[in-house]
Structure formats: structure tokens, C-alpha cells
Chain A
Amino acid sequence: MNKKVSLIIKTLAFLAILFTCFFGVMLLVERKSSFNKNQAFFEEAKKDHIDAFFLGSSHVINGVNPLQLFEEHGYTSYNLGGYGSVLLSSYWQMMLALDYCTPKLVVVDSYMLENDIRYIDDPAANVDSDELHLNIDRFPLSKTKYHAINDMFQNQDEKYPYFADFIVYHDRWKELGAEDFKRFTKDADINRMMGAVMEYGVHSAEYNYVDYGAGMLEQETVGTTYLRRIIEECQSRGIQVVVVTLPFLAMGENQAAAHTATQIAAEYGVPSLNMLEIPGIIDINTDMEDPGHLNILGCQKVTSYLGNYIAENCPLQDHREDPAYENWNDSLNDFHAELASMREGNDDIYTQLMMLQYDNSDKTYAVSIRGASSVYGDAMLLRQLHSLGATEKLDEAAAAKCSYMLISDHGIITDFAGDSEEEFYIETTDGSFSYSPASDIYRVLYINGDTENNFLYADDLAYADVQLLFFSNGVCTSHQYYTSDHFTYDYDQR
């Protein structure tokens, strides 16, 4: 008998050690993207520091910045948007999150409301399994997760990797890096943007937003069913709901979906905000990464608008002065530091100009385009310069293919077009500028009368198409050169 008991104890001890080690290996090899996106949620939810959830697809991930909301209104929220998410997966994302905290407000984006595919493993759903893993892997296996996976998938074999992601990630043993081992320490890299991801690109096409005069969706869809379930679930728990449609290049069916979302919100008596139909929130040609996703510029505008809407319709508590939320300020400072690092030195000219649009109020800078440059054919570049404040002189320069110069003194724009010996003088906060566009290639820019240093000419970069110069206290702090080859820009920095 003693032998049997000893055997049982030994077996149990062995299994305990085995499973502990196995758990460690699971954490080591797991793909860290889900941990990265959602870990801050668990940390904040544990402290009950989340007052609002944002639900939706990647439109929401890229379109709503919780840190900006905190900065402007003191609202604490988490962006639970999921890559490739439809309303079905947003519903379950919310249910998973509700296991860890109960917010006061849920904001749900109606994108893909027209989607009528019941299961996300239906090939027609076109959902990338990696994306769903990213959205939910960090949520431990629970009763809710079990129901979520059973509800979202029809094929039993497709479900297993979501119940136990080791099934897909064990093969990562060959790509383990330092970040993987940091999973066991406190210094693992996690998303401090509270689930949001900023995009720093600009699409290259020129779009016009068309109002198709769409009505409503003709019938109930899987999307509408799950939007209703989200609203009903929130109402049953006493959580306020706002139904929104973030701006994007919507087609007729998308516009009908947005109208239907508004109607469903009205049925339940919850507020709704269809940003597709509010003119002027964003400029679709400069504020989007692609036709569907906002870039940081668009995100800033949309978040600001949304924050004001929440403040008016369902205000939340302002936590900015609460010392318990100090880490939100820390995250905000990190975000500002990242922005500061992005405002200069971008090798992508479009990103660089976009970052100048994002915030140029505290800088003096100059943009110079050489005469006869091919970049005058780059419509996207010209659009961005106009957004920065370029006047019709830019169009004149483009038409004549002559030299162009834009000087921004803390947001105050002065620009010049033409090639001549004439000298122009501009007084700025950061010095007195003297500009003379002698020829296509040879232009002169002196500062504070220092004629020894012409900032616009260097032998080795004489044919740079675009030069961008930042100034501070009479000193050029950064000089960026962009040389175009069929609108692909080579970059140099001095």
C-alpha cells in the first residue's frame, strides 16, 4: 500500500514538474504579437482602470488613440479593435474582455456590418488566421473563450490552435530571439498605446469621396445580429454604448451598412456617430494610410472628434489628475517622445511631410524644390505641400518647372516660385533668411547674413530634388535631401 501511495505521489510530482516546464516552453515559443497588443489591457483591467472599450476592425486599431483621449479628456480606454475583425469577432473580443473588467462605455465601429458569413473559417470570410491569433491568443483559455471559438469556427480542426496556440507556435523554436525570453521578465516589449497602432504612411492615389445615396442594408446579416448582441449585452450589464462608423473610402454597401448601424442604434436608444457623413473631419487624400485605414494624422483628427462627441453625449470620468493613473501619463510621454523622433529624419518623404502636418507649430523649417525637377509630376507630394500651407505659387512653380521654396515659421507659411537673381528676405523666429533662386540647380539660402554658408547648394547633392531644412536659433539642425527616381526617393541627411 505504501508503495502504491509513494508511486502516486511521485507520478503527480512528475506530472506537475512536466506541466510547469511545458507551460514555460509554451510561453517561450508563443508568437509575442498578441501579448504585445493585449498585455497592457490585462494590467489596466486588473486595476480597474479602463472606462471604455473600442471595438471593431483594424480601422479602429489605426483610428482611435486612447492616449490622445486621455490627454485631451482624461478618459481611460482600451482599443480592442482586431485585425480582420468582423462584428462576430468583435462581439467575442468584448465578451473575453468583460471577463476581466466592466467598462462604463463601449464604442463599436460598424465596419463590415454587411458581412453575412456565419463562420470566420469559411474560406469566403477571407480571415487570416494569424490575425485572429493576434487578437485573442493572450486571453487565457476560459469558458468564454471556449464558447467564442465554438461560435466563430465550424471546422473542429480549425478550433484546436485557438484553444491551445502551442499547436501552431511550437515550430517557432528556430526563430527565438531575446524578445521571446523577455516574456519571463518585466521588461518585455508591450504596446503602451493601449491597443492602438499608429500608421505613418500616406496612400499615393487621389480619391474623391462619393456619396452613393445608399439606403439601408436589405436584410439582417450576421453583422447586424452581432451588433445587436453587443448592444444587448452592454445594456444588460448597464454599460453605455455608442455605435460609430469611422471614416474611410466607403463604397455604396459600406454606406448602407453605416446607415443601418445608425438605425439599429436608434432602435435600442443608443447614440450613434456616422463619421462618413460628417464633412471635414479628415482629408481622405492625406489622412489615410490606404483607402481603409487612417494614418496618424487621420487618427488624431478622428480621436479628437470622437473625444468631443463622448464628452457631449456620454462623458466619462477625467483621470488626468489622479495619481493612480500616473502610468497613463508615462505612456503618453513615451508616445510624445516617439512622435518627436518621427518629426525629423524620415527617409520617406511622404511620411516626413505628414509628420510636419501632424505638428509644425513649434518649428521653423524650409522646403526647397529645384527647378526642372520631375517631382512636380508627383501629385501626392504636391497635395501634401498644399496641406502644409503651400499657396498657388507651388502650382505656378509646377507649371513652369522652376524653383520653389516654402518656409514655415512655427506654422506661418511663406513661399516663393521662380528662378531669378532677385533676393528675398524673410524674418523668422529662428533667424533672418535670405533666399535667391539663381537657377534650377543653384539656389542660395543664407541665415543671419552669413554668406559663407549657402544651405541650398552642395556639389555632391546638387541634383537633389527636394531639400528639407530645420532651423533653431539661427542654426540648421537637420538637412534632408530627397532625390527622385520615378517618384522613388533616395534619401541623404546632413
Chain B
Amino acid sequence: MQFVSLTFLLFLIITVGIYFIIPKNFRYIWLLIASWGFYYKLSHKLLILLVAITLITYVFGRLLDNGESSEKKQKRPVLISGIVILLLVLGYFKYTGFLLETVKSLQSAMGLEPLGIAAKIALPVGISFYIFQAIGYLADCYMGKIPVEKNYLHLSLFISFFPQVMSGPIERAGNMLPQFKEPESFSYENMRDGLLLMMWGYFQKIIIADRLAVLVDHIYNSYENYNGTLLFLATIFYTLEIYTDFAGYSNIAIGSAKILGIDIMQNFEQPYLSRSIPEFWRRWHISLSSWLRDYLYIPLGGNRKGFARKLINICIVFAISGLWHGAAWTFVFWGLLHGLYQVFGILTKPLRESITDNLGINREGFALKLVNVVVTFMLVNIGWIFFRAPDFKVAWYVLSHMWTCKPWVLLDGTLFNLGLAAADVRLLALSILVLAIVSALNYKGVSIRKALTEQTLWIRWAVYIAAVLFIVTCGVWGPGYDAASFIYSSF
């Protein structure tokens, strides 16, 4: 049951309907049943793994609670054991194949007989997300940020909550558990805001991302036939695709929870308008970035152990972030590249500031902001090449062949021969324009959603109805559409 399916919408209507009918004290039980049902439809028997993770987390949480008066030092082995077990599970399902392939490559490079075994392990949907959530919970308990949860069902719901179990956002127990324990009453405003967010998410996903995916796949699948501007465009398209795909998913998840009166943290805040790579990471996949900061970067020492250590920590965190995204060296390289961007940025910051000041450039001026945004966007764009390419060979080809300027491909109809009909390409261009305008307004602090709710009833209704009809009619869905194609659902 994917978000882009009639089954999910039906599931959501039933879940919400029953949720608000039953007494508040029992709502979390219903949500847990619904969440497990949702996960079962996604992964069938692998629901057992999800339940096992919740049990492991619960047990280690309770173990951390046993010595409430004791020192952190005594709790540490419990925490480490819990984290190690969770990471072993993640490692087994996600990285066994990667390790085997790496060993085989090394053996091959050294002229040895490669191992004759191959890993055929199905990757459980959302495992990277819910295990990180579980680790975050144990760490918060250990650090005393939250009390250990004694009700297994509450904790289980936190890890299994259906809007986020598939691809996040990676929430914190401190935010979610109180909301499960003290559910809000039905609110028209929550319902409206949730539905609007979902609509925006569907717009991003099935109007933009899924059309971009056709263009990107078309070019990447036969990349050797392309060069110059078309390859460059493919990288830009992918940069937009991965954003609209994941942000679209996140908005549907956040909107679904909002309808239930549950607030989930934002995951994106106009990342492509960032003026630097660190800012990009404060705006992109915020729940993961903040998780890595809180549970990895800071425990590694953060910036408290000297300048060199700080730079090393950044690189470690980003390399791990890359590995978290995918079990392949291209992902590791992508993460490391972002780490190196930041290290380079830190090292050159005094020089850049000095040049700016000496040239008398206004740091808050539009021109410099624009240059910063464009440079940051391009750096991120280059990074996504390694993220999208199946291997380094393809990534290098794209990177080295995309700079030849052939702007006529924008006008000579070439874009209409990349797997999308001309009408689709035009609709896509228009939709990206809408996305850009909305992003710019949001960046300026203007909320379209809020502005809309302040309009008269008829205008609001006209916009809502037009939006719904537009999305269901022009969206890429139905027979032949792979509903499992949320990029982040495979992480």
C-alpha cells in the first residue's frame, strides 16, 4: 500500500474515521493496529521484523530504566548493547550484500578466487528509518531527555506510526509519545491543513517528480547517447526529481498525521535556495540531518575537540550519511563529497570573507546571495550525479560530458523525444515554475496555505476543487505506473 494509491486513501479515511470515533484512551491502540496493518500490506511477513525491533527497543529501554538512580557510566553498556543489536539488524538486511560485493571486488583486484556466495536478502521497507528512530529513542532515554516508556504499545506505535514508517521523517520520541498519550480532539483546521499538505505533496510527487523520472531515466538508461546540455539538463532534472519526490512523500506523511491531530517535524525548507552547503543540510532532510548531528556528530565530539577533529567528524558523519542512504560506494562518495564541501568551505571561509570585504561587496546584497545560491545548487547538483548513477563509470561520464554548451536542445523539440509527450513536457515546465514561485514565497516567509485560508469561502473552494481535479487528472498514476517508486522508500 503506497501513498500514491486509492487503497491508501481509503485506508486513511477509515483510519481517521475510526480514530475520532473511539475514546481518546484507546486511540493509540487503534493507530498501532492501523500502522501494523499498513506495514503488513507493504512488507507482509517482514512485519515480524518491525515488531521485533519494537520489542528489542522496549526491552533495552526498560533496562536503561532499571538503574534510574545509577550513573550514566553504568547505563552505557546497556545503551551500547541495544544500539549494536539494532545496527546489526540493519547491517544484516542492508549491508550484507554490499560487504560481500566489496570483498569480491578486493579479491578480484588482488587476483584471488572470489567468494562463491551471493546475498539474497530482501530489504525491509523503511528499516533505515525506523531503526534510527529506535536508536534515537534509546539515546534520549540514556541522556535523560525523556523518561523511559513503560507502555510497550505506545513505544511500538512511535516506531511503527504509519505515515512515517516507510520513509520518515525520523521523529523524536519526545515529540511523538506525548501526542499519542494525549490525543487532540477532531479539529477542522487540522483536517484542512493536513489535506492541503497532502495535496501539495501529491502535486510534487505525481505531477512533477514522476514526470521528471521519465526524462531522467530515459537519459541515464542510455547515457552514452547523450552529451552536453542534455546531460546537464538530466542532472538538473534529477536534482529536482529527488527533491519533489522526497519532499512530496514527506508532505503526504506530515499531512496524514496532521489530519489525526499529530504534528510531525518538517523535513524540507526550500533546500535549493540555500546559500551554502551547511545551510543546505539544515534545510534538506532535516529529520536525518538533525538526527546525525544529535546522535553522531555531537557524541563524536562535534567541534569540542579541536579544529582538526571537527573537520574529521564532519567527514565521518557525511560518509555515514551516504552509507545510510544506500549500500554502495557511490553513496558513500556522495556523502563524503558533501563532507569535503563543508571542510573546504570552513577552510576557505576567512579567505572568501576577506575577498568579499576587499572588493566592497555587500554580503547581504542580492547579487552575492544569488551567486551563493547558484554555486550551492551546482555543488549539490554535482553530488546528486553520484547519487543517481549506478556506478562511478556512469557518474564520471555524465560529469565529464555535461559541460558542452548546446542550448538549442531546449528549443528544437529534443525534449519532446525523451519519453514524455509534448503536452507532458509543457505541463512539467509550468508545474516547476509554480513550485519555484511557491518555494520563493515560502523562503520569504509567505505561507500560501495560510494566505489561502484567509480568502473568502468561494475562492477557497474554487482553488481546492481545481487543485484536486488537476492532480487526479494530470497526475502520473494508474495502470502501468510503479507505485513503489518513491526514491527514499528503498533506503
Interface members, chain B 426-475 (any A CB < 8 Å): 427, 457, 461, 464-465, 468-469, 472-475
B461 cross-chain contacts in A, Cβ below 8 A: 14, 17
B6 touches A (CB below 8 Å)? yes
Do residues A7 and B188 form an inter-chain contact, with CB atoms below 8 A? Answer: yes
A168 cross-chain contacts in B, Cβ below 8 A: 478-479
Chain B's nearest CB lies how many Å from the CB of A22? 6
Interface members, chain A 19-70 (any B CB < 8 Å): 21-22, 25, 29
Do residues B478 and A167 form an inter-chain contact, with CB atoms below 8 A? Answer: yes
Contact stretch, chosen from A143-151, A169-177, A362-370, A403-411: A169-177
A29 cross-chain contacts in B, Cβ below 8 A: 473
B457 cross-chain contacts in A, Cβ below 8 A: 10
Report, nearest first, the 7 A-B pairs whose CB atoms are least far apart.
A174-B423, A167-B478, A170-B473, A173-B473, A18-B465, A25-B469, A21-B465
A377 touches B (CB below 8 Å)? no
Task: Find the B residue at minimum CB distance from A166.
Answer: B472
B474 cross-chain contacts in A, Cβ below 8 A: 170, 173
Do residues B423 and A22 form an inter-chain contact, with CB atoms below 8 A? Answer: no
- Complex Cα spacing A137 to B407, Å: 46
Task: Find the B residue at minimum CB distance from A14.
Answer: B461
Find B479's partner among A14, A21, A22, A167 (CB 8 Å cutoff). Answer: A167
- Complex Cα spacing A95 to B83, Å: 63
Chain B's nearest CB lies how many Å from the CB of A74? 45
Do residues A161 and B479 form an inter-chain contact, with CB atoms below 8 A? Answer: yes
What are 20 inter-chain pairs, A to B, with CB distance below 8 A? A10-B457, A14-B461, A14-B464, A17-B461, A17-B465, A21-B465, A22-B468, A22-B469, A22-B472, A160-B6, A161-B478, A161-B479, A167-B6, A167-B479, A168-B478, A168-B479, A173-B473, A173-B474, A174-B423, A174-B424
Identify which of B421, B475, B476, B479 gathers the most chain A CB atoms within 10 Å of its CB.
Answer: B479
Do residues A170 and B472 form an inter-chain contact, with CB atoms below 8 A? Answer: yes
Chain A's nearest CB lies how many Å from the CB of B28? 25
Interface residues of chain A: helix, strand, loop or mixed (majority): helix
B468 cross-chain contacts in A, Cβ below 8 A: 18, 22
Instruction: Give the number of residues in A that approach B within 8 Å (Cβ atoms).
Output: 19
Given A21-B465, A171-B478, list of 13 further CB < 8 A pairs? A14-B464, A17-B465, A22-B472, A161-B478, A166-B472, A167-B477, A167-B479, A168-B478, A170-B472, A170-B477, A170-B478, A173-B423, A174-B427
CB within 8 Å of B: which residues of A?
7, 10, 14, 17-18, 21-22, 25, 29, 160-161, 166-168, 170-171, 173-175
Task: Find the A residue at minimum CB distance from B191.
Answer: A11
- Complex Cα spacing A241 to B475, Å: 47
A18 cross-chain contacts in B, Cβ below 8 A: 464-465, 468
Chain B's nearest CB lies how many Å from the CB of A301? 41
Chain B's nearest CB lies how many Å from the CB of A181? 15
Contact flags (1/0) for B361-378 with A, using CB distance below 8 Å? 000000000000000000
- Complex Cα spacing A14 to B188, Å: 14
Identify which of A18, A168, A171, A174 gathers the most chain B CB atoms within 10 Å of its CB.
Answer: A171
Contact flags (1/0) for B195-230 with A, using CB distance below 8 Å? 000000000000000000000000000000000000
Do residues A174 and B421 form an inter-chain contact, with CB atoms below 8 A? Answer: yes
B479 cross-chain contacts in A, Cβ below 8 A: 161, 167-168
Chain A's nearest CB lies how many Å from the CB of B447? 22
Task: Find the A residue at minimum CB distance from B426.
Answer: A174
How many interface contacts (CB-CB < 8 Å) are there between A and B? Answer: 44
- Complex Cα spacing A166 to B427, Å: 20
Task: Find the A residue at minimum CB distance from B481.
Answer: A171
A161 cross-chain contacts in B, Cβ below 8 A: 478-479
Task: Find the B residue at minimum CB distance from A20.
Answer: B465
Chain A's nearest CB lies how many Å from the CB of B483? 10
Contact flags (1/0) for B291-313 with A, using CB distance below 8 Å? 00000000000000000000000
Task: Find the A residue at minimum CB distance from B474.
Answer: A173
Interface members, chain B 271-318 (any A CB < 8 Å): none
- Complex Cα spacing A480 to B310, Å: 90
- Complex Cα spacing A247 to B468, Å: 51
Chain B's nearest CB lies how many Å from the CB of A5? 13
A174 cross-chain contacts in B, Cβ below 8 A: 421, 423-424, 427
Do residues A25 and B473 form an inter-chain contact, with CB atoms below 8 A? Answer: yes
Chain A's nearest CB lies how many Å from the CB of B194? 14
Chain B's nearest CB lies how many Å from the CB of A228? 33
A173 cross-chain contacts in B, Cβ below 8 A: 423, 473-474
A21 in contact with B478 given A174-B423, A174-B424 (CB within 8 Å): no
- Complex Cα spacing A173 to B469, Å: 11
Task: Find the A residue at minimum CB distance from B466.
Answer: A21
Contact flags (1/0) for B411-430 with A, using CB distance below 8 Å? 00000000001011001000
Task: Find the A residue at minimum CB distance from B427.
Answer: A174
- Complex Cα spacing A167 to B475, Å: 11
B6 cross-chain contacts in A, Cβ below 8 A: 160, 167
B423 cross-chain contacts in A, Cβ below 8 A: 173-175
- Complex Cα spacing A14 to B464, Å: 10
Chain B's nearest CB lies how many Å from the CB of A165? 10
- Complex Cα spacing A10 to B458, Å: 11
Identify which of B423, B465, B473, B475 gathers the most chain A CB atoms within 10 Å of its CB.
Answer: B473
B475 cross-chain contacts in A, Cβ below 8 A: 170
- Complex Cα spacing A160 to B457, Å: 35
Task: Find the A residue at minimum CB distance from B471.
Answer: A170
Chain A's nearest CB lies how many Å from the CB of B34? 21
Chain A's nearest CB lies how many Å from the CB of B348? 49
A170 cross-chain contacts in B, Cβ below 8 A: 472-475, 477-478
- Complex Cα spacing A10 to B461, Å: 10
B477 cross-chain contacts in A, Cβ below 8 A: 167, 170
Contact flags (1/0) for B391-421 with A, using CB distance below 8 Å? 0000000000000000000000000000001
Do residues B188 and A21 form an inter-chain contact, with CB atoms below 8 A? Answer: no
- Complex Cα spacing A474 to B126, Å: 86
- Complex Cα spacing A167 to B476, Å: 10
B427 cross-chain contacts in A, Cβ below 8 A: 174
- Complex Cα spacing A17 to B457, Å: 13
Chain B's nearest CB lies how many Å from the CB of A121? 12
- Complex Cα spacing A173 to B457, Å: 28
Chain A's nearest CB lies how many Å from the CB of B196? 13
Chain B's nearest CB lies how many Å from the CB of A160? 7
- Complex Cα spacing A190 to B427, Å: 32
A21 in contact with B473 given A170-B478, A171-B478 (CB within 8 Å): no
- Complex Cα spacing A7 to B188, Å: 8
Chain B's nearest CB lies how many Å from the CB of A24? 9
A14 cross-chain contacts in B, Cβ below 8 A: 461, 464
Task: Find the B residue at minimum CB distance from A169.
Answer: B478
Task: Find the B residue at minimum CB distance from A3.
Answer: B188
Chain A's nearest CB lies how many Å from the CB of B425? 10
Chain B's nearest CB lies how many Å from the CB of A17? 6
- Complex Cα spacing A174 to B421, Å: 9
- Complex Cα spacing A21 to B6, Å: 19
- Complex Cα spacing A18 to B469, Å: 8
- Complex Cα spacing A168 to B478, Å: 6
B478 cross-chain contacts in A, Cβ below 8 A: 161, 167-168, 170-171
B469 cross-chain contacts in A, Cβ below 8 A: 21-22, 25
- Complex Cα spacing A271 to B421, Å: 54
Chain A's nearest CB lies how many Å from the CB of B333? 38
- Complex Cα spacing A171 to B479, Å: 10
Chain B's nearest CB lies how many Å from the CB of A53? 30
- Complex Cα spacing A34 to B484, Å: 32
A10 cross-chain contacts in B, Cβ below 8 A: 457
Interface members, chain B 27-67 (any A CB < 8 Å): none
- Complex Cα spacing A7 to B474, Å: 30
Task: Find the A residue at minimum CB distance from B188.
Answer: A7
Chain A's nearest CB lies how many Å from the CB of B61? 40
Chain A's nearest CB lies how many Å from the CB of B2? 12
B473 cross-chain contacts in A, Cβ below 8 A: 25, 29, 170, 173
Chain B's nearest CB lies how many Å from the CB of A23? 11
- Complex Cα spacing A171 to B214, Å: 15
Chain A's nearest CB lies how many Å from the CB of B236? 24
A7 cross-chain contacts in B, Cβ below 8 A: 188
